[in-house]
Amino acid sequence: MSESLPIVEMAGISISFPGVKALDEVGLRLFPGEVHTLMGENGAGKSTLIKALTGVYRIDEGEIRISGEPRLLGGTADAQHAGISTVYQEVNLCSNLTIGENVMLGHEVRGAAGINWRATHRAAGETLEKLGLGHLNPKQALATLPLAVQQLVAISRSMVAQCKVLILDEPTSSLDANEVEQLFTVIRSLRDQGVAILFVSHFLDQVYAISDRLTVLRNGRFEGEYRTHELDRAQLISKMIGKDVDALKSLDAKGARRVRSDAAPLYSAKGIGRKGAIEEIDIDLHRGEVVGLAGLLGSGRTELARLIYGADRPDTGEVTMNDEKAEITSPAKALARRIAFSSENRRDEGIIRDLSVRENLILAVQARRGWARPLPRREQDAIVEKYVSALGVRPADPERPIRLLSGGNQQKVLLGRWLATEPDILILDEPTRGIDIGAKAEIQEYVAGLADDGLSVLFISSEIEEVVRQSDRIVVLKDHRKIAELEGGQGVSAESIVNVIAEDGLGDPSADTAVREEVTT
């Protein structure tokens, strides 16, 4: 690729929010016909930089040049006039309108009698066709499309705006492997048409598959710009987290498993099940051990967790805890028996956006005490201080609304919330989904430490490799039932678990590939 002139040149960009310097003299160059990936941990300033380029945030210092001309971007409309289009992680289209309208909104074909709908729909159809979406009927309602296709429609929309620069902010986080491939085909064809593409993703494989150039940010500072082929993954990660790569690898190569005591299990379920959710299952949880739940999406992982926590009532089976019969039929009863459950749905079932970090942290403790006995402020502060520093929540400001924290830090607060209840059993459903690799490593390390301290952890993740790495024992689920229970250690790997799932029953080949794809992400 010849070193042509950059179409976008951001230099010395600084943006401050009250109390935080979000960006400190950051630079970014985008070249036509190139896919440029912006890398960095959650909270490194990627979103802020993008919002500076799309005109959502005003820059305090620095300069944005587009095609060599210095530009002041005062709003999203300004950025679009400058040829910069953005596709966000959440699909930002209007689901009450048709596909064609969403593509053409603001660019409808107009004639003497106002908008010419026939021509507008035709133009929408042509645009969709160019991106390989010719099978879509522009007159169909957008809401009838799956999310992934809506994402592609959003990209078609930016094509109508004649964009020269396309920003894709984590477009793949809710897509499956096939959909990602479809998206990449579209991205490549746009790149070949000379569009400069800025891509943001947490998935390293995707980054290496698609991008030509990388810019790394860390803590709001510019870390460097590299050609993708000049930087291997380990180097990239260490640039992102500013730590030695070996720290990560040590976790990977965890050889010695914790030795399980022969004492009776802390929690033992015999034949618990619930119609439509999970078939009858036996599961034991011991002190000081991490039990992993592995299985495909929809194999019943979350359902089993909810059953153990009492969020759903089991139809069958019985539970003993510490050798006595236990009736866990509601979350309150589970909490009383010191079982804590951190949900996979961080945004809707986890954090309360507008409350502060402190209020979010003490929520579960307060819930256990009941509303009539508020936790004294001194105790609150003690709890908050303990977990904010133990988990490394950044920024360490307990009064900051949690919605202003990055996903990884929100997850740490949630983990702290449940740890503050001093549970014996901690159920973590997808604690590391959608967070960056640095925060992920920290959480994994912390969870391992918890088990060393005698906690019993039930760990759920759709990344089978992560389950393998984290767990002392792995329960494999498929189609809402348990198909195997494996001791962790030598010989158990993501691949062997995939084989267990694949060989079970008829070995549905599509399921098999789905696992492999999931493993690779």
Partner 1 sequence: MSTLTTTRTEPTGARALAKRLSLHLDTLPTAAAVAIFIGMIVYGEAAYGRIVQFNTLSNLLINNAHLIILAVGLTFVILTGGIDLSVGAVIAFSSVAGVMLMNAGWNPWLAVLLMVLIGTAFGAASGVLVQHFHVQPFIATLAMMFLGRGLASILSTVPERLADDSPVRSLGAQIKVYDGPKVNDVVLTPGVIIAAVVVVAAFFVLHRTRMGRTVYAIGGSEQSAALMGLPVAATKMWVYIISGTLSGLAAVVYTARLGSAQNITGIGWELDAIAATVIGGTLLTGGAGFVLGSVVGALVLGLMNVLITRDGGIPPEATTIITGGILLVFVLLQRAVLARRRE
Find the shortest distance in angstroms from Cβ 120 to partner 1: 10
- Residue of 368, 302, 304 whose CA lies nearest to 335: 368
Phi, psi of 388 (to 5 degrees): -60, -40
Q: With H, G, I as helix, E, B as strand and everything else as coil, classify residue 459.
A: strand
Distance CA 160, CA 120 (A): 11
Q: Check binding of 446 to partner 1 (CB under 8 A).
A: no
Pick the binder of partner 1 from 4, 16, 144, 185 (CB under 8 A): 144
Report which of 339, 442, 436 is spatially closest to residue 390, judged by C-alpha positions: 442
**Is residue 77 part of the contact set for partner 1 (CB under 8 A)?**
yes
Instruction: Give residue 371's Cα distance to chain centre.
Output: 33
Q: Does 161 participate in binding partner 1 (rule CB under 8 A)?
A: yes
Rounded-to-integer distance, Cα 513 and Cα 521, Å: 13
Q: What DSSP character marks residue 256?
A: P
Report the 10 Å Cβ neighbour count for 101. Answer: 21
Find all residues with CB under 8 Å of 358, minimum gap 6, and list them.
Answer: 380, 381, 384, 398, 399
Q: Which helix (H) or strand (E) holds 167?
A: strand 165-169
CB closer to partner 1, 297 vs 352: 297
In the list 15, 79, 291, 511, the residue contacting partner 1 (rule: CB under 8 A) is 79
Smallest separation, CB 397 to partner 1 (Å): 26
Instruction: Please report how close the Cβ of residue 55 comes to partner 1 at its closest, in angstroms.
Output: 9
Neighbours of 72 (CB within 10 A): 10
Q: Name which of residues 105 to 134 contact partner 1 (CB under 8 A).
A: 105-106, 108, 110, 113-115
User: Toward partner 1, which CB reaches closer, 143 or 234?
Assistant: 143
Q: Minimum CB separation from partner 1 for residue 292, in Å? A: 25
Contact region for partner 1 (CB under 8 A) — 4-12, 86-94, 183-191, 341-349? 86-94
Query: What residues contact residue 332 under an 8 Å CB cut-off, 6+ apart?
Result: 310
Choose, by CB under 8 A, the member of 29, 36, 46, 157 that binds partner 1. Answer: 157
94 binds partner 1 (CB under 8 A): yes
Name the minimum Å distance from CB 355 to partner 1.
21
- Binding flag, residue 178, partner 1 (CB under 8 A): no
Nearer to partner 1, 101 or 289 (CB): 101
Indicate whether 101 belongs to the interface with partner 1 (CB under 8 A): yes
* Beta carbon of residue 163, minimum distance to partner 1 (angstroms, whole number): 11
Q: Is 146 in the site for partner 1 (CB under 8 A)?
A: yes
Least CB distance from residue 106 to partner 1, whole Å? 5
Q: Does 97 bind partner 1 (CB under 8 A)?
A: yes
Q: Does 466 bind partner 1 (CB under 8 A)?
A: no
Instruction: State yes or no: residue 263 binds partner 1 (CB under 8 A).
Output: no
Q: Is residue 396 a contact residue for partner 1 (CB under 8 A)?
A: no
| Strand stretches in 466-519, DSSP E | 473-478, 481-487
141, 367, 500, 519: residue in contact with partner 1 (rule CB under 8 A): 141
> How distant, in Å, are the alpha carbons of 71, 117, 362, 382, 399 from that of 376?
53, 63, 11, 10, 16
- Cα separations (Å) of 468 from 88, 293, 465, 518? 32, 9, 5, 14
Question: Site for partner 1 (CB under 8 A): how many residues?
Answer: 29
The whole-angstrom separation of Cα 23 and Cα 270 is 54
Binding site for partner 1 (CB under 8 A): 76-77, 79-80, 86, 88, 92-97, 101, 105-106, 108, 110, 113-115, 140-141, 143-144, 146-148, 157, 161
